[in-house]
Amino acid sequence: MKAGLLGGDAFRTPGVAAETAAEAVRSRLRILVYPHELAMGGSQINALELAGAVRDVGHDVFVFATKGVLLDKVQELNLPYIEAPQSRFAVDPATTRKLTATVRELGIDLVHPYEWTAILNTTFGPGLSTGTNVVMTVLSMDVPDFLPRHLPLIVGTPALADMEARRRGNIHVVEPPIDTIFNKPRGIAASRQELGVNEKTCVISIVGRLTTDLGKLGGVLAAINVVDRLLAHCDVTLVIAGDGEGYSQVRELAGRVNSSHGREVIRVLGNVLDPRAIYDAADIVLGMGSSALRGMAHAKPLIVQGRSGFWLTSSPETEEQFLRGGWFGAAGEGEAELEEALTSLVSNPSRRELLGAYGRALVEDRFSLGSAAERLLSIYHAQLSTPTRATALATSLARTGIETAKFRLVMKLLENTRAKHPAGGS
C-alpha cells in the first residue's frame, strides 16, 4: 500500500473498532504514530524507523503528520500516511479534529506522538474526546514541564529519565535506534566519487539541522572556522548536509572561506534525504544524537557536538558519559576544543580506524532497531493494560491546560517584543 492511499482493510468496521483495550493487548495492535513534523530530523527518523519495525513484527501502524521531505521515507517504509493540517500552535483545533476523526475511522488502539506539539494535540484531541490510549516520546534534551503527567513518557537517555523521575512517574528509556543494515560502510572510494570529493583529502562530515536548537548552528559555524585554520597545515574538506533557518548563514561563511582558499574546501549540500554517502565518504564525523550514532554505524570516528562550545571525541574512555547522558554535551571550550580534537584525528589514521571499528561495534551491540521495537511494544502493552484513574486524569489535564496557556502567552509576548524591536533596530 502506498503512503497516502488508505484502502481495503486499512479501515475497520464499527464492530471491530469497538474492540476493548484488553483484547487489543492480546491481538494485532493498530497504532497511529504522530511525528511533530516530517522535516529532516533525528526524532522524526526514529519515529518512522520504529514504526516500520513495529509493523514488521505483525502490527498495523499508520503515520499522521504534516507533509515534509521525510514523506519519501514514509513511502519507502510502505507505511500508510494521513496528512495532518499545517498549524502554527498547539493545541490546534483543525489538527485535533482531524486526528480524532482519524483515530475513530481507523479504529486505533494507541496513538504515539513525538515531541510536545504532537503530544498536546493528541492529549486534547483523541486522548480527551475518545479516551484513546497514548504513549508520548520526547527525544529533545529538554522536556517541557507542561506535558501531561498521567501518560507514559519515553526519553532517549538514562540521565534524562532520572531528571524527569523527580516530577513524574511512568518514565521509560528507549535509546535512539539505528538500522545497522541500512546504515553501514559501503566503500569510501565509491561514496567520494558519488559526491565528487577528492580521494586524498581528509573529509570531515556533518549531517544535521542548521538551526539554533541545542546549539546546532553555532557548532557548524565553529567547524567551518576551525577547518579554515586547519587548511594552513593539512588538506581537509568539510561536507555539510542539512537545512534550517541558519542555512544562508552557513552558505555565506562557507563562501568566504572557499574564496580565501581559491577552491571549494567547505561543501554545503543543503537537505539530503539519504545521507549515507556523506557519512561513508568521511574520515571523521561531527554530530549529536541520532546523527552521531549513524556516523558510528558507518565505522567513522566521532567527535560529539553539544551546546555552548562542547566537543568531545567518542572513545572507550568517554563511553560511559555518552551512554548515560546521550550523544550530546552541555558546555565546553568552543573552537579551541574542536581544533584540538580534529588535529589529533587528522594526523593519526590508525587511531581513526580503531575508533571507527569501536563505534560500529558499539552501535551494533547497544542500539539495534529490533531491540528498540521490542522495548517499545512492551511499553504499549503496559499502557493498554493499565487503566488511568479519573482523578489523576482530571488533575493532569487541568495542570497541562493551565501551563500550556501560560507558555503560549509568554511566546506571544516574546513575538510581539521582537516585532517591535527587531534585531539591529534602535
How many whole angstroms separate alpha carbon 184 and alpha carbon 297? 6
Verify cis geometry, omega within 30 degrees of 0, for the bond prior to 91: yes
Give residue 419's pLDDT. 60
Q: Is 416 left (phi over 0), alpha (psi -120 to 50) or beta?
A: alpha
Give residue 413's pLDDT. 56
What does the pLDDT look like over 184-205, one tens digit per residue? 999 899 999 999 999 899 999 9
* Residues 6+ positions from 73 with CB-CB distance below 8 Å: 45, 48, 273
How many whole angstroms separate alpha carbon 320 and alpha carbon 141? 18
Q: Which three cell numbers mark 421? A: 524591536
Q: Number of C-alpha atoms within 13 angstroms, CB side, residue 306?
A: 20
H or E segment and range at residue 62: strand 60-65
Residue numbers in the chain where pLDDT is lower than 70: 1-26, 88-90, 406-426
Q: State which amino acid sits at residue 305.
A: Q
Give residue 387's pLDDT. 80
163 to 124, 157, 158, 228, 290: CA distances (angstroms): 26, 10, 9, 39, 21
Domains, the chain, with CATH or none = 8-177+370-417 (3.40.50.2000), 188-366 (3.40.50.2000)
Q: What is the DSSP letter of 113?
A: E
How many whole angstroms separate alpha carbon 285 and alpha carbon 301? 6
Q: Is 214 left (phi over 0), alpha (psi -120 to 50) or beta?
A: left
How many whole angstroms separate alpha carbon 402 and alpha carbon 398? 6
Give residue 5's pLDDT. 41
